[in-house]
C-alpha cells in the first residue's frame, strides 16, 4: 500500500468528518453542571473516569459544595471520601482544593477565560482547558484530546504522536477550526458506540472503508 500524501490524508479526514457529523449529529458534553466552577471541577474529576460515574458523584457533591467558599473550607480527608469513586481521589482532591484557592485569590472567584491562565491551575492541561473554554465561553483554542480521541485518531492514522499536545497539533492541521470543538465529542461517541477498545465493531463501522486499521471484511 503506497504512502498517503498530506493532501490525501486531509481529504480522508474530511470524509471521516462528514460521516461522524451525520452519524452523531447531537454529540456533546455529557457532564452535568450548573456553573463554570462546577464544569471545571467535573472535568478535572473525569480524568481516568467515566462521565457517568462523575455525574453520579457530583449529584451529591454539588449539593454539599454549592459555592467556592464551600471548597475553600473543605477538609481534604472528607473531600477525598466525597470523590473517592472517581479514582485517583487524593491527587484530584489536592488539585481541586488548590485550584479553588487560586480562583479565589488570583481570579476573583471566577474561572479564567484564556488558555494561558487555565493551564496554570493545578491538574489542568490543554485537554481540560479546551473543554472548559468551549463549553463555558464558546472559545475554541484547539481540540480536546482525551483517551478516545487519542486512540481513534491513532487507529485512523491521523497521527503517530504519543504526546497529547502533539496529537492536538496534528489534528488541528487536518480539520477546519469550526469543527474542532464538536470533533472531540463525535469521536468520543464513536469510541463508545462502535470503536470500542479491545472489541471494535469494525463490520458495522461507518468509517470502515476510510480506516487503515479496520478489521472489517469488505
Please tell me the distance from the alpha carbon of residue 175 to that of residue 14, in angstroms, as a whole number.
7
Catalytic status, residue 146: yes
DSSP 56-116: HHHHHHHHH--SHHHHHT--HHHHHHHTGGGSSHHHHHHHHHHHHHHHHHHSTTS--SSHH
Q: What DSSP state is assigned to residue 175?
A: S
Q: Are 168 and 128 in contact (CB under 8 A)?
A: no
- Find the catalytic residue in 9, 53, 146, 173: 146
Which contiguous run of DSSP H or E holds residue 19? Answer: helix 6-23
Catalytic status, residue 170: no
CA proximity to 124, closest of 112, 136, 135, 108: 112
CA proximity to 40, closest of 25, 54, 21, 52: 54
- Find the catalytic residue in 127, 160, 165, 173: 127
Q: Which residues are catalytic, by number?
A: 127, 146
Amino acid at each position: 500500500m503506497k504512502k498517503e500524501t498530506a493532501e490525501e490524508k486531509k481529504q480522508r479526514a474530511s470524509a471521516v468528518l462528514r460521516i461522524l457529523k451525520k452519524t452523531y449529529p447531537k454529540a456533546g458534553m455529557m457532564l452535568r453542571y450548573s456553573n463554570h466552577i462546577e464544569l471545571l471541577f467535573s472535568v478535572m474529576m473525569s480524568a481516568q473516569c467515566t462521565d457517568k460515574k462523575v455525574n453520579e458523584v457530583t449529584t451529591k457533591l454539588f449539593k454539599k459544595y454549592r459555592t467556592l467558599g464551600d471548597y475553600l473550607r473543605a477538609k481534604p480527608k472528607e473531600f477525598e471520601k466525597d470523590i473517592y469513586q472517581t479514582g485517583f481521589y487524593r491527587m484530584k482532591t489536592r488539585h481541586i482544593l488548590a485550584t479553588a484557592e487560586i480562583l479565589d485569590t488570583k481570579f476573583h472567584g471566577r474561572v479564567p477565560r484564556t488558555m494561558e491562565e487555565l493551564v496554570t491551575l493545578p491538574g489542568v492541561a490543554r485537554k481540560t482547558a479546551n473543554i472548559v473554554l468551549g463549553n463555558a465561553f464558546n472559545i475554541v483554542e484547539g481540540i480536546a484530546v482525551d483517551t478516545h480521541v487519542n486512540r481513534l485518531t491513532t487507529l485512523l492514522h491521523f497521527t503517530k504522536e504519543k504526546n497529547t499536545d502533539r496529537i492536538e497539533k496534528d489534528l488541528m492541521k487536518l480539520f477546519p477550526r469550526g469543527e474542532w470543538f464538536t470533533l472531540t465529542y463525535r469521536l468520543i461517541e464513536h469510541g463508545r458506540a462502535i470503536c470500542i477498545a479491545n472489541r471494535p465493531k469494525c463490520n458495522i463501522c461507518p468509517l470502515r472503508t476510510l480506516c487503515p486499521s479496520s478489521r472489517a471484511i469488505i
